[in-house]
Chains A and B, each alone.
Chain A
Amino acid sequence: MIKYCLSAAMLALGLAGCSAEQQDLRADGLVYCAEGAPEHFNPQRVTSGTTIDIISQQLYDRLLDIDAASGELRPALAKGWQSSADGLVYEFDLRHDVQWHQTDYFQPSRVLNAEDVVFTFNRIMDPEHPFHFIGGGIYPYFQSVDWASLVKQVSAPEPYRVRFELSRPDSSFLSNLATDFAAILSAEYAAQLLAANTPQLLDSQPIGSGPFIFREYQKDVLVRFYEHPHYWRGPAAMQQLVFDIVPNNARRMAKLLTHECDVIAYPRLAELALVSERPDVKVQESTSMNVGFWAFNTQRPPFNQVKVRQALALAINQRAILQAVYFNQATAARSVLPPTSWAFNQQLATPEYNPQAAKALLAEAGLASGFNMTIWAMPVQRLYNPNALKMAELIQADLAQIGVNATIVSYEWNTFRRKLTEGEHDSVLIGWAADNADPDNFFRPLLSCAALESGSNRAQWCDPVFDRILNQALLTDDQLQRRSFYLAAQQYLQTEMPLVALAHSQRIQAINSQIEGVTINPYGGIALFSARRVQP
C-alpha cells in the first residue's frame, strides 16, 4: 500500500486515492503466469500440458476424479458406479445438482444429465456424429488407449444414469474416465451451436460445469475466467482467474518477484535456490507421475543383446545426472513406475554405478574393445527431462570410461519424433508423463508390442512374455492380484533392460506466499478451485 502511494506521489498526478477498496479487485483475483498459450478450450482434443493446465480443471468436471494424495478414484459428477460381474458393463449415477455455465453466448435450460455424457463420448467414438470431425477428428488421448475399440456403446437408460458397454474387460477403464481429457461437455450447448451453424465454436467458446466460467481469450496475451457462482462444490475462493501468457522464463520469474503473477509455471530449476530465500515467494513441489529414461533400440545390434544393455546401464552415473540435470528436484528411478504408485516393486535393486562390472559384461558379450553408438537427445525441455543435451553429454563421458564412443544427435522436435518412430536411433533420452493413476499407463504405451506399432515404443521392444503379463493384469479388478502382475513386470524389465529409467521429476511451482490452496494433480493439470489469498 505504501508503495502504491509512493509511486502515485512520484507521478505527481494527485490522483493517489489509496483507499481500502482499491485492494478489492486484486484480493479477489488470481494471476497464473503460464508458459504458453492454449491451443483451444476443449480437453478432449489436447495433449499439451500447457493447455490442460489452463482449461481442464478450471472449466470442466469429469465423471470421476483422482485423489491427488492416494491416487484412488473418487466420485465427481458420478455419485456412484457399478460394474457387471464380467467387467463389460459399467453404470454411473449422476448428480442432480450440476449447473452449467451461464454466459453471454449460452443460457442453460437444465442441469447436467446423462444426455450430456452420451454426447461427450459419442463425439469421440462415432465418426457419424455431427461434431466428430469438427477440429479435425483427432482425439489423441482416447486414440492412444484405443477407446473406439474398447467402448461399444454409451447410453442413457435413465435421465441421470449412464451405461458404458465394453467389448472386453479393462481395469484401466475407470482411470481413463478420471483423466483431464474426459471432461463432460454440454449437449444442449452443442445443439444450440449446430442450429446456429457454428459448431466450431464448441471448442473456442467453452461451456463446462467447472468452478470457473470462460470470459475472454486475447490471443497470446491472456485468458480470463470468472467464478461459477452455482458450482456444485460451492463457489471458488477467487472471483477472477487470469492466465497471463509469458513464454519467457526470466520474465515470468521477474513478474513473480514484482507480484504481477501469483503463481508461475515451470520456474527455471537453476534459479530456485535464489528465489526460495525471499520471504514473499514459496516454492511448491509436488510429485508428478513421470519418468525420464534412456531407451535402447533393441532391434539394432549390439543393443539386441541383453548383456550390452545391462552393461550400459551399469556404466552411467545416475546420481551425477540427478544433480546436474535435475538440480536434485527429482527422485532417482529404480523402475519406469514411480515409487508412489501402488504397484511399485519395493524389492527392486537400486541401480549401481560400476564401470568395472560394465566392462566385464561387455567383454562377455564379445565387445571388449568397445563400439560406436549414437545418443539422441530430445531438443525440448520437458518436466521429465529438463535438459536432455546436458544429460547426453554426461552419459557420453561415462561411456567413454568403458570404451564406448558415443555421438550426440538432435533434430527439431517434430523431425526428431518422426525419425524415432522410424527407429533410426541407437539410443534416445526421452521420457513419459502419466495421464492417469493406473500402472498400465506406464507400461503399455512405452513397451508393449502394440506401442511398437503405434510408434511410441522408443526401445523398439516387443516381448510376448512381457505383453502377456500386462494383458493378464488388465483382466482382473482385484488390486492385489493386479499388483503381483506388475511386480513381475518390473522385475522382468530390470533383467531385460530395454530402457534405463533415470529419474522421476517433481513438478515445481513458484508461488506468492500469500496464496494457498493451489493443488497439482500428479496425473494432470493444476487445479485453482480452492486457491485463495491469505495475509501472511
Chain B
Amino acid sequence: MINFLLRRLFLLGTVLFGLSLLAFSLGYLFPGDPLQNFSGIRQLEPQLRAELTAAYRLDHSYLSQYLAFLNRLWHGDWGLSLASQQPLLSEIRQVLPATIELTSYALLVSFLFGVPLGILAAIKPEGYLGKIINTITVAGYSLPVFWWALLLIMVFSVGLGWFPSGGRLGVLYEIPTVSGFMLVDIFLAETPYQQVILLDALRHLALPTVVLATFPTTVMIRFVRDAMLEVWEQNYIKTAKAKGLSRLQVLYRHGLRNALLPVIRQIGLQFSALITLAMLTEVIFSWPGIGRWLLDSIYQRNFPAIQAGLMIISVLVITVNMLTEILHTFFNPLARKR
C-alpha cells in the first residue's frame, strides 16, 4: 500500500511540475508584455517595472525565472487580475467554493439517484422498469446541457415562477462571506431570517443542481446497472444463491459491495466532465463560480486570471482523480497488488 501511495504521489508531482511549466510558459505565449502577464498590473511605471523585473528575475535565464515563478506561487503571490486589479488568489478564494458547492451537490444527487435506479434497472433488465430507466438514461445522456438549462428556466422559472432564474441567493439577503460555501455561511450568519434565507438558497440551488446532475446521474445509472449485471454472473453470487440466501440478501451482502467498487473510481473519471459542464451551467444560471469567472476572464483577455484559473482547475481535477483512485485501491485488495 505504501509503495502504491508513493508511486501515486510521484505521479502527482510529475503532473504538477508539467502544469506549472505550462502555466509559466503561458506568460510568454499570451500576447502582450510578459511582465504584465505575470504581475497583472495595468499601469507599470518605470520604477515599478524595474523592481518587478528584478523580483521576477526576467533579466535572468528562463530557468531562474521559472524558479522565481514557483517561489511566488508557493508564497501565494499569484499576481493581480488585469480587470479588477485585485489579487487573483483572493478572487479565486471567492469563486471556487461556489463551484465546489454546486458540483458536490450535483455529485451527491447523481449518487443518491443513480445508484438505486441502476440497481432497479439491473434487477430485471428486460422488464418494463428496466426498459423505462434505460430510455430515460439515454435521453438524459444525450441532452445538451445549455438547452436543458434554458428549457428548465423557461418552464420552472419564467413560466411557473417556482424557482429563480439565476444567482446563488436573493440579492436582498445579506450574508457575510465566511467560508464561501453558501449553506455554511447561512448557518454561521446571525439573522432572525435564517430559515427563510436557507430556503431561498435551496430554491436557487435547485435548477442548477438538476441541470448539472443530469449527465453524471445517467452515467451512474448505466454504470451501476452494468456492474451489477456483471457481478450477478460471478461464481460467488451463484454460491450465495445456492446457500439459500434470499434475493435481497444476496444483492446486499455480496452483489452491491462488489458492484459499487468501480463506481468510486467512476466519480474521479466523471469529475473533469463535471467541471466542464459546471462552467456552462454557471454561465447560464449566473452562478458566481470559477467557471463563469474564467469565461469572463477570457472575454476580457485577462491573461493572468486565465493562467491562474487553468492552474487551479487542473490541480482540482487531478487531485480529485488521485484521491478517488487511492480510495478505490484502499477498498479493493485486488487493485493493491497490481
Residue positions of A touching B, CB distance < 8 A: 3-4, 6-8, 10-11, 13, 15-17, 21-22, 24-26, 29, 31, 215-216, 219-222, 224, 240, 242, 244, 246, 251, 254-255, 257-260
- What residues of chain B lie closer than 8 Å to A25, measured between beta carbons? 172-173, 193, 196
Instruction: Name the one of B165, B199, B296 contacting A255, with C-beta atoms under 8 angstroms.
Output: B165
Q: Does B303 sit at the interface, judged by CB under 8 A? A: no
Instruction: Name the one of A13, A220, A240 contacting B202, with C-beta atoms under 8 angstroms.
Output: A13
B172 to A26, Cβ gap below 8 A? yes
B158 to A258, Cβ gap below 8 A? yes
Q: How far is the CA of A21 from the CA of B178 in the complex (A)?
A: 26
- What residues of chain A lie closer than 8 Å to B27, measured between beta carbons? none
Instruction: Name the one of A8, A11, A221 contacting B288, with C-beta atoms under 8 angstroms.
Output: A221
In the complex, which range does the number of interface residues on chain B fall in?
A: 20 to 34
- A5 closest partner in B (C-beta): B199
Q: How far is the CA of A15 from the CA of B161 in the complex (A)?
A: 19
B172 to A10, Cβ gap below 8 A? no
Q: What are 8 A-B pairs at a CB distance below 8 A?
A: A7-B162, A13-B202, A17-B199, A21-B192, A246-B286, A254-B158, A258-B161, A260-B165
The answer to whether A11 and B202 touch (CB under 8 A), given A251-B286, A255-B166, is yes
Q: How far is the CA of A220 from the CA of B170 in the complex (A)?
A: 16
Q: Does B206 sit at the interface, judged by CB under 8 A? A: yes
B167 to A259, Cβ gap below 8 A? no
A26 to B170, Cβ gap below 8 A? yes
Q: How far is the CA of A219 from the CA of B85 in the complex (A)?
A: 11
Q: How far is the CA of A219 from the CA of B193 in the complex (A)?
A: 26
- B174 closest partner in A (C-beta): A224
- What residues of chain A lie closer than 8 Å to B199, measured between beta carbons? 4, 8, 15-17, 22
B157-181 CB mask vs A (1 if < 8 Å, else 0) is 1101111111100111110000000
Q: For chain B residues 229-271, which have a beta carbon within 8 Å of chain A?
A: none
Q: Does B25 sit at the interface, judged by CB under 8 A? A: no
| Apart from A7-B206, A215-B174, A240-B172, 4 more pairs, CB < 8 Å | A25-B196, A219-B86, A258-B158, A260-B167
The 10 A-B pairs with the shortest beta carbon distances in the complex, nearest first, are A22-B196, A29-B172, A242-B171, A7-B162, A258-B165, A244-B171, A254-B165, A17-B195, A258-B157, A257-B158
Q: Does B153 sit at the interface, judged by CB under 8 A? A: yes
State the Cβ distance, A444 to closest chain B Cβ, in Å. 35
- A4 closest partner in B (C-beta): B199
- B168 closest partner in A (C-beta): A221
Q: How far is the CA of A24 from the CA of B286 in the complex (A)?
A: 25
Q: Does B8 sit at the interface, judged by CB under 8 A? A: no
- What residues of chain B lie closer than 8 Å to A31, measured between beta carbons? 171-172
- What residues of chain A lie closer than 8 Å to B171, measured between beta carbons? 31, 222, 224, 242, 244, 260
- What residues of chain A lie closer than 8 Å to B195, measured between beta carbons? 15, 17, 22
Q: How far is the CA of A246 from the CA of B84 in the complex (A)?
A: 18
State the Cβ distance, B51 to closest chain A Cβ, in Å. 21
Q: How far is the CA of A246 from the CA of B203 in the complex (A)?
A: 20
A7 to B166, Cβ gap below 8 A? no
Label chain B's interface by main secondary structure: loop
- What residues of chain B lie closer than 8 Å to A7, measured between beta carbons? 162-163, 203, 206
State the Cβ distance, B312 to closest chain A Cβ, in Å. 19
Q: Does B58 sit at the interface, judged by CB under 8 A? A: no
- A13 closest partner in B (C-beta): B202
B172 to A254, Cβ gap below 8 A? no
- B205 closest partner in A (C-beta): A11
Residue positions of B touching A, CB distance < 8 A: 84, 86, 153, 157-158, 160-167, 170-174, 192-193, 195-196, 198-199, 202-203, 206, 286, 288, 296
State the Cβ distance, B37 to closest chain A Cβ, in Å. 21
Q: How far is the CA of A13 from the CA of B198 in the complex (A)?
A: 11
Q: How far is the CA of A15 from the CA of B153 in the complex (A)?
A: 23
- What residues of chain A lie closer than 8 Å to B86, measured between beta carbons? 219
Chain A CB within 10 Å, residue with most, of B161, B164, B172: B172
State the Cβ distance, B73 to closest chain A Cβ, in Å. 24
A258 to B172, Cβ gap below 8 A? no
State the Cβ distance, B221 to closest chain A Cβ, in Å. 20
- What residues of chain B lie closer than 8 Å to A6, measured between beta carbons? 162
B206 to A254, Cβ gap below 8 A? no
State the Cβ distance, A217 to closest chain B Cβ, in Å. 11
B193 to A22, Cβ gap below 8 A? yes
The answer to whether A21 and B167 touch (CB under 8 A), given A7-B162, A254-B153, is no
- What residues of chain A lie closer than 8 Å to B170, measured between beta carbons? 26, 260
B202 to A15, Cβ gap below 8 A? yes
Q: How far is the CA of A16 from the CA of B202 in the complex (A)?
A: 11
- What residues of chain A lie closer than 8 Å to B160, measured between beta carbons? 3
State the Cβ distance, B183 to closest chain A Cβ, in Å. 12
- A33 closest partner in B (C-beta): B171
Q: How far is the CA of A240 from the CA of B288 in the complex (A)?
A: 22
State the Cβ distance, B113 to closest chain A Cβ, in Å. 13
Q: How far is the CA of A257 from the CA of B155 in the complex (A)?
A: 12
A251 to B165, Cβ gap below 8 A? yes
Chain B CB within 10 Å, residue with most, of A17, A21, A251, A260: A260
Q: How far is the CA of A244 from the CA of B286 in the complex (A)?
A: 12
Q: How far is the CA of A220 from the CA of B300 in the complex (A)?
A: 13
- What residues of chain B lie closer than 8 Å to A4, measured between beta carbons? 199, 203
- What residues of chain B lie closer than 8 Å to A260, measured between beta carbons? 164-167, 170-171
- B284 closest partner in A (C-beta): A251
State the Cβ distance, B197 to closest chain A Cβ, in Å. 8
Instruction: Name the one of A26, A224, A251 contacting B166, with C-beta atoms under 8 angstroms.
Output: A251
- A255 closest partner in B (C-beta): B165
- What residues of chain A lie closer than 8 Å to B206, measured between beta carbons? 7, 10-11
- What residues of chain A lie closer than 8 Å to B286, measured between beta carbons? 246, 251
Q: How far is the CA of A36 from the CA of B206 in the complex (A)?
A: 27
Q: How far is the CA of A29 from the CA of B173 in the complex (A)?
A: 9
- What residues of chain B lie closer than 8 Å to A244, measured between beta carbons? 171
The answer to whether A21 and B84 touch (CB under 8 A), given A258-B164, A258-B165, A260-B167, is no
Q: How far is the CA of A25 from the CA of B189 in the complex (A)?
A: 15
B162 to A3, Cβ gap below 8 A? yes
Q: How far is the CA of A13 from the CA of B86 in the complex (A)?
A: 39
- What residues of chain B lie closer than 8 Å to A10, measured between beta carbons? 162, 206
- What residues of chain B lie closer than 8 Å to A29, measured between beta carbons? 172
Q: How far is the CA of A10 from the CA of B153 in the complex (A)?
A: 16
State the Cβ distance, B201 to closest chain A Cβ, in Å. 11
- B171 closest partner in A (C-beta): A242
- B203 closest partner in A (C-beta): A7
- A23 closest partner in B (C-beta): B196
- A219 closest partner in B (C-beta): B84
Q: How far is the CA of A517 from the CA of B162 in the complex (A)?
A: 28
- What residues of chain B lie closer than 8 Å to A16, measured between beta carbons? 199
B161 to A3, Cβ gap below 8 A? yes
- B160 closest partner in A (C-beta): A3
- What residues of chain A lie closer than 8 Å to B192, measured between beta carbons? 21
- What residues of chain B lie closer than 8 Å to A11, measured between beta carbons? 202-203, 206
- What residues of chain A lie closer than 8 Å to B198, measured between beta carbons? 15
Q: How far is the CA of A251 from the CA of B166 in the complex (A)?
A: 9
Chain A CB within 10 Å, residue with most, of B84, B86, B171, B198: B171
State the Cβ distance, B330 to closest chain A Cβ, in Å. 33
Instruction: Name the one of B196, B202, B203, B296 contacting A21, with C-beta atoms under 8 angstroms.
Output: B196
Q: How far is the CA of A224 from the CA of B175 in the complex (A)?
A: 12
Instruction: Name the one of A17, A221, A242, A254 contacting B157, with C-beta atoms under 8 angstroms.
Output: A254
